Amino acid sequence: MPVHEEQLRSERAHVDGLYRRLDAERTRVEARYREALRGNGTSPMERDVEVRAQAGELKRLGVADHGLCFGRLDAVDGERRYIGRIGLFDEDDDYRPLLLDWRAPAARPFYTATAASPEGMRRRRQFHTRGREITDFTDEVLGRPDGETAGDAALLAAVNAPRGEGMRDIVATIQAEQDRIIRLDHPGVLVIEGGPGTGKTVVALHRVAYLLYAQRERMERSGVLVVGPNPAFLNHIGRVLPSLGESDVVFATTGDLVPGLHVTAEDGPEAAELKGSLEVLDVLRAAIADRQRLPEQPRNIELEDVTVRIDAATAAWAREEARDSGLPHNEARAVFIEIVTYVLTERAIARIGQGWLTRDDAEAWEALRADLLSELAQHPDFTEVLDELWPILAPQRLLADLYSSPERLRTVGAKQLHRAEGAAWTVSDVPLLDELVDMLGTTKTAGGEKDSEREAEYAAGVLEILQTERHDLMDDEDHLLAQDLLHAEDLAERFVEHDTRELAERAAADRDWTYRHVVVDEAQELSEMDWRVLMRRCPNRSFTVVGDLAQRRSPAGARTWGAVLDRYVPGRWAYRELTVNYRTPAEIMEVAAALLADFAPDVTPPDSVRACGVQPWHRQVAETDMSRAVADFTDAEAKREGTSVVIGPPGVPGAVAPAETKGLEFDAVLVVEPARILAENPRGAAELYVALTRATQRLGVLHHDPLPEVLASRVGKR
């Protein structure tokens, strides 16, 4: 038997053994899960904790059904290390590692060792698998200048493979440049910038998986938030982290960051720019102040024994005290009411008690005040005046009323924000609504603030457990300590008995949830106000920021990373750049690079690692023939393996806008009417650059209008 076949047979047998170990472990965990469901006398909270723990372990084991082991390292001292998606250990042999998790320090040479720097290794073997079966393997000899480069062959096979419905993990083919970023020990904000196809998104997701592995106890309690540009992008990347065994992750667009809000409209450039800038904070403050009114005429309140009057002077004093309290608007209402009622009762007592009651009789004075306060609290006219002068405000109602009122917008100096339907929310409204939650404060009534005894009792149990475990947490400043939780009632809404929802589901539904780490993709599009929302979601400022400034299309987006981050994390953010294009073949990147040089001459395009052998083409057609030509493209691509897309300006049948394809990749792309894309908005060149760089194999350009000069000389005619 040839040596290769003999070794392949041996590797198959070894991996079969790993799968038997995996199946046995899963059987044990399933038994523990069923036992946890029964509870066996534990408290409801302890039961829920154990159920979630075992369910998480089942998910971790489940991701390894396919591609459990994808490689082997042979050290110069003869040690063999098998590398895979998860770690497996021999419990009967002092937990000897049978399979190393790809994130473990001992697995790192699998990604970083080279012929020139072998890191104590002599060979890297990469398995090619289908399901649970090894179909073949390739070896790379390390430590010799003329060593083989089979690792490159594995990489090229991966990037040349037809695209499926979603992004794939790169756990088997991580490159050294990517691995250094994935494992970077940086506690603050990490910016990963790279041109199209450099893998910045998938590197960021693998970095999350690595952090969840290396900092499991810290990370899993709060979870991770991944923010992307649109739902299609989130769907595209949504399989990567689950395929790596990580599920405590919330995927959201910036439009999802206020739970329950539905975005149905789109702002024009002028409105979007104002809403995205910090200047809009003054607009919001002015809008709130505008609702804190003074009576144009004194308002009389007829009580049983006396008529009291609220005049402008009284309301002005109360308003000043309420504003100076520093409380949010709705909470400052109590201060406003306190001052108004003090003035009214003082005046009323003086009139009622004239001739028989003095301040020296403090007990009688206060007894009369109490009666008057009770009568005022139940008087509908008094409530009506308070609601007029200092109303309880809700974010959505306040903003909708502002947008639909030209008069109010003139008052606050933001007439460009007018729209007929105030509640037709846009993505740019989300950070404003989120800001108003804090500016306005709670809108609950006294009755609504009362928690049930059962919820409070459950929360008290949380406190008790935290107190008993406090000594275990003292060395970890990032843990939530018992002294940080003042009242059981404060926890009752967060910790609800028998809340069996997954962490991601609970976090996504809770506006006040804070995350341990946040990933922001296409970050160049986020406005200053978007960043305020995200910083509130992650108080410890642990971020992975992914973007390409050259692809910015939003007028409110980032022009430099420092302008965005220095406000929040001065001196605490690091920058790393990816320079190798793994997606876009050289033939297509040459076309895109010419456009990039035209609108962003200071930006260096990434280097493509491969050529596809297919030249980009263009075809000019009559306007009446455009629909048929687009259909011909889609029909032809439907017969091929892989994915395709038509990208064009509004009005092109069957086409999507360039912005909707950001972060996505397709085997074949047809760009329609590039001249119109360029002219569509001030950042049209960036949009066309995005469109041209989505293809991994084939690029075509269809147009009726003349082809832009920058493309004409680089795209062959069909």
Nearest Cα to Cα of residue 672 among 698, 638, 707: 707
pLDDT band at 215 (very low <50, low <70, confident <90, very high): confident
Contacts of 197 (CB under 8 A, 6+ apart): 581, 582, 583, 584, 589, 606, 608, 665, 693
Question: Binding site annotation covers 195?
Answer: yes
Q: Under 8 Å CB-to-CB from 300, ≥6 apart: which residues?
A: 307, 308, 309
Are the C-beta atoms of 294 and 316 separated by less than 8 Å?
yes
In this model, does residue 158 exceed pLDDT 70? no
Task: Residue 337: count other Cβ atoms within 10 Å of its Cβ.
Answer: 19
The label of the residue with tokens 């949010």 reads 328
With cut-offs at 50, 70 and 90, classify the pLDDT of residue 344.
very high
Q: Which residue has the higher pLDDT, 200 or 169?
A: 200
Is there a binding annotation on residue 196?
A: yes
Q: What is the mean pLDDT of residues 246-260?
A: 90
Say whether 415 counts as a known binding-site residue: no
**With pLDDT > 70 as the criterion, what percentage of the chain qualifies?**
88
With beta carbons less than 8 A apart as the criterion, state whether 680 and 657 touch.
Answer: no
N- to C-terminal Cα distance for the chain?
A: 52
Q: Does 201 belong to an annotated binding site?
A: yes
Answer yes or no: is pLDDT of 88 > 50.
yes
Q: What integer best gives the mean pLDDT of the chain?
A: 86
Interval 91-142: pLDDT, tens: 877 888 999 999 999 999 998 888 778 999 999 999 988 888 999 998 988 8
If DSSP codes are grouped into helix, strand and coil, which group holds residue 469? coil
Q: Is 413 annotated as a binding residue?
A: no
Residue 473 has pLDDT above 70, yes or no: no
Listed residue (502, 585, 569) closest to 535, CA to CA: 569
Q: Let me know: does 142 contact 150? Beta carbons within 8 Å.
A: no
700: left (phi over 0), alpha (psi -120 to 50) or beta: beta
The pLDDT of residue 462 is 38
Q: Is the pLDDT of residue 147 over 50?
A: no
Complete edge-to-edge strand list for the sheet that includes strand 69-75: 88-90, 96-101, 80-84, 69-75, 121-130, 133-141
Which residues lie below 8 Å from residue 714, measured CB to CB, with a gap of 6+? 590, 591, 594, 616
- Lowest model confidence (mean pLDDT) among 34-43, 307-316, 449-458: 449-458
Copy the structure tokens of residue 221. Answer: 């309690």
- What residues contact 593, with CB distance under 8 A and at least 6 apart? 605
State yes or no: 557 annotated in a binding site. Answer: no
Is 442 annotated to bind ligand? Answer: no
Average pLDDT over every residue of 490-514: 71
| Contacting residues for 431 by C-beta, under 8 A, at least 6 apart | 254, 257, 275, 276, 527, 529, 530, 532, 533
C-alpha 51/C-alpha 33 separation (Å) is 6
Q: What percent of the chain has pLDDT over 90?
A: 61
Q: Which of 394-408, 499-513, 616-630, 652-666 has the lowest mean pLDDT?
A: 499-513
- pLDDT score for 169: 64
166 pLDDT exceeds 70?
no
Q: Does 194 appear as a known binding residue?
A: yes
Q: Which of 54-63, 476-485, 584-593, 687-696 has the lowest mean pLDDT?
A: 476-485
The 8-class DSSP code of residue 85 comes to S
Spatial contact of 580 and 609, defined as CB atoms under 8 Å apart: yes
Q: Which of left, alpha, beta for 482 (phi over 0: left; psi -120 to 50: alpha)?
A: alpha
CA distance linking residue 88 with residue 95, whole number of Å: 9
